[in-house]
Structure 1
Amino acid sequence: MKLSGLWVALLTPFEPDGAVDHGALRALVEDLVPRGVDGLVPLGSTGEFTELDADERAAVLRTVVQAAAGRVPVLAGVSDLSTRATCRNAVEAARAGADAVLVLPPLYWKLPDDGVFAHFTAVADATALPVVAYDFPALTGQPLSPALLGRLAAEEPRVIGVKLTVRDLDVVRKALAATRASRPDFSIVTGFEDLIPAAVWAGADGGISGLANVVPDELVAMVAALRAGRPDVAASIREVLRHFDAYDLTVPAIPGLKAVAAAVGRIPRATARLGSGASEATVVAAAARWVTRHQALVEPERVLAGQSARTP
């Protein structure tokens, strides 16, 4: 499996009572796959994986794999507090039919590079699935150093790449320099859409996008234009960046992003387990104002579908 292009960090839709809405999750996958996304990433940060128990995680993954039906690969988030729990999740991901696993460093203790290396190799030992390392230092407090990434690339062929959810392009540059000499096939993707263009121009392979739950067509088009070096790429980048303020509606960003996805009809409702300090009604109202500002950017029939599907 090659991690490249535009992958979607899937939202996890919920019923009004907070249970996982598997019908809505299947519909989201069915909506996204024909639009040309290169892969699906359930149970990541955008999917509120920290708010799901083990049974719910397994059920979410089964739904996504079944809905994808082999049309695109599924990269399953398996991160947890400990290496042992992460390995257990990786085994479940393999049973569910995932194509690879996405792995943060352990989420409580801060380990030296040797300890983090051992964490990734333990996950690789637990399952035959390829491993993608996940660097999100703003949340983990544990950046994956260039030296660590270089060691993974050189010594651990089962680790096939890294997702860099970082704000600094220099981190991408250093990761490329550390890995590509020994592993030209080592994939590097970014987790922030506004960094995808510069990262791809620097030599990275694409991005894993939460915003693609809302505007997949624009993101697929942007990444295709970047990879092809087309002259219309600047306009495509501007089109994507006009949507980036969807992340500003709440802190953390996921409840607001979910409300925007509901407002444009990608999912039935804005219900989130991850709290932002604002009521769901307040977040839904903010998302409605976002849609008003971006009216030309969404399909009118989707907006109407979203409005009719939302619960009060």
Structure 2
Amino acid sequence: MRISGLWPALLTPLTEDGSIDHPALTTLAKDLVLRGIDGLVPLGSTGEFTEFNAQERRAILETVVIAADRRVPILAGVSGLSTAETCDHGRIAAEAGVDAVLALPPVYWKVSDDRIFDHFVSVADATDLPVVVYDFPGLTAQPLTTALLERLAVEEPRVIGAKLTVRDVMTVTAALGATRPYRPDFSIVTGFEDLIPAAMWAGADGAISGMANVIPDELVMLVASVKEGRPDWAELHHAVMADFDMYGISAPAIPGLKAAAAALGRIPRANWRLDAGPEKSVLDAAAAWAAVRQPSSERKDVA
């Protein structure tokens, strides 16, 4: 299995009372598959993984697996505070029928590379599934070092790649240099859409994208254009970057992403677990964002 192309980091739609909106999740997942994405990533950061208990996580994953209907692979987020919790979530994901798991290092305590290596090995042991390691130092404050990535590539074949939600291409190129000489099949994907062209030119395989919930067509075309070396990548990247300010609708970004998706009719409402009834200011900002946004069909060289 290789993580390549465009994989949306799925939003988790909620009802008015904050329960999981399984029909809306099913609709979102099916629509994304039909739009040509390469895989689905439920229960990542965009999916609010921190806010759901074990039973809810299982239900979310089962819904996505059924919606995908084996048309695309499922990479399930299984991160938790501890190794034991992460392994428990990994077992649930395996039982739900996903194809691979995505895991952060242990959260809260700052530990050594040896300890993080053992953490990812434990996740692989618990799930019997391929593991993608997740580097998000902006939230964990503990980056995955190039030495650790090299050791994982050399010593642990069940770790098949890394998602790098990092702000610079140098980190991506360093990760590629640490892994590809030993494992040409080791997947490296970016978590930030603005880095897609530069990361892929350096050798990365694609992106796991929160924005793909909102503007999937533009991102599918951008990743394909860069992968194929087509000259229209710049226009496509410009179109994506014109919408990049959706990340600034709120802080943190999830309610803003949900509000943008709701404003465009991608999900029914913008509720999220930390604020079941979204703030009016976020809804207003998302409505203003959507009002001035040109549909992709009206953008030059995009449709």
- Provide TM-score, normalisation by structure 2: 0.96
1:8 CA drift (Å): 0.3
2:40 is paired with a residue whose SS is strand
Q: Could you tell me which amino acid in structure 2 is paired with residue 252 of structure 1?
A: P
Measured in 1, the distance between the counterparts of 2:17 and 2:147 equals 46
Is contact 2:255–2:278 with CA below 8 Å preserved after alignment? no
Q: Deviations over 1:276-305 (max 9, x none)?
A: 9x9522211111000112043489xxxxxx
Q: Which residue of 2 aligns with 1:18?
A: 18
Q: Which residue of 2 aligns with 1:224?
A: 224
Q: Deviations over 1:37-60 (max 9, x none)?
A: 000000000000111111111100
| 1:122-141 alignment, distance < 5 Å | 122-141=122-141
Is contact 1:270–1:280 with CA below 8 Å preserved after alignment? no
1:283–1:298 CA distance, 2 compared to 1 (3 A): farther
Q: Which residue of 1 aligns with 2:146?
A: 146
Q: Which residue of 1 aligns with 2:283?
A: 284
2:41 aligned with 1:51, yes or no? no
2:240 is paired with a residue whose SS is helix
RMSD of aligned alpha carbons: 1.3
2:14 aligned with 1:37, yes or no? no
Is contact 1:7–1:207 with CA below 8 Å preserved after alignment? yes
2:85 aligned with 1:89, yes or no? no
Q: Could you tell me which amino acid in structure 2 is paired with residue 56 of structure 1?
A: E
1:89 is paired with a residue whose SS is helix
Measured in 2, the distance between the counterparts of 1:141 and 1:32 equals 32
1:168 CA drift (Å): 1.1
1:272 CA drift (Å): 1.0
Is contact 2:75–2:98 with CA below 8 Å preserved after alignment? yes
Measured in 1, the distance between the counterparts of 2:259 and 2:120 equals 34
Is contact 1:255–1:274 with CA below 8 Å preserved after alignment? no
Aligned residues: 298
1:287 is paired with a residue whose SS is helix
1:18 is paired with a residue whose SS is coil
Q: Percent identity among equivalent residues?
A: 65
Q: Could you tell me which amino acid in structure 2 is paired with residue 73 of structure 1?
A: P
Is contact 1:41–1:74 with CA below 8 Å preserved after alignment? yes
Q: Which residue of 1 aligns with 2:214?
A: 214
1:275 CA drift (Å): 4.8
Is contact 1:94–1:129 with CA below 8 Å preserved after alignment? yes
| 1:154-165 alignment, distance < 5 Å | 154-165=154-165
Measured in 1, the distance between the counterparts of 2:139 and 2:275 equals 15
| 1:94-113 alignment, distance < 5 Å | 94-113=94-113
Measured in 2, the distance between the counterparts of 1:207 and 1:104 equals 17
1:52–1:110 CA distance, 2 compared to 1 (3 A): same
2:239 aligned with 1:239, yes or no? yes
Higher mean C-alpha displacement, 233-242 vs 206-215 = 233-242
2:167 is paired with a residue whose SS is coil
Q: Which residue of 1 aligns with 2:166?
A: 166
Q: Which residue of 2 aligns with 1:309?
A: none
Measured in 1, the distance between the counterparts of 2:13 and 2:26 equals 10
Is contact 1:124–1:159 with CA below 8 Å preserved after alignment? yes
Q: Could you tell me which amino acid in structure 2 is paired with residue 134 of structure 1?
A: Y
1:110 is paired with a residue whose SS is coil
Gaps spanning 5+ residues in structure 1: where?
300-312
Q: Which residue of 1 aligns with 2:3?
A: 3
1:20 is paired with a residue whose SS is coil
Q: Which residue of 2 aligns with 1:205?
A: 205
Is contact 1:264–1:298 with CA below 8 Å preserved after alignment? no
Is contact 1:6–1:220 with CA below 8 Å preserved after alignment? yes
Gaps spanning 5+ residues in structure 2: where?
299-303
Q: Could you tell me which amino acid in structure 2 is paired with residue 194 of structure 1?
A: D
Measured in 1, the distance between the counterparts of 2:47 and 2:161 equals 21
1:41 is paired with a residue whose SS is coil
Measured in 1, the distance between the counterparts of 2:191 and 2:7 equals 10
Q: Deviations over 1:102-137 (max 9, x none)?
A: 000011211100000000000011121100000000
1:255–1:298 CA distance, 2 compared to 1 (3 A): farther
Q: Which residue of 1 aligns with 2:118?
A: 118
Is contact 1:218–1:239 with CA below 8 Å preserved after alignment? yes
Is contact 2:93–2:101 with CA below 8 Å preserved after alignment? yes
Q: Which residue of 1 aligns with 2:301?
A: none
Q: Deviations over 1:187-211 (max 9, x none)?
A: 0000000011100000000000000
Q: Could you tell me which amino acid in structure 1 is paired with residue 140 of structure 2?
A: T
- Provide TM-score, normalisation by structure 1: 0.93
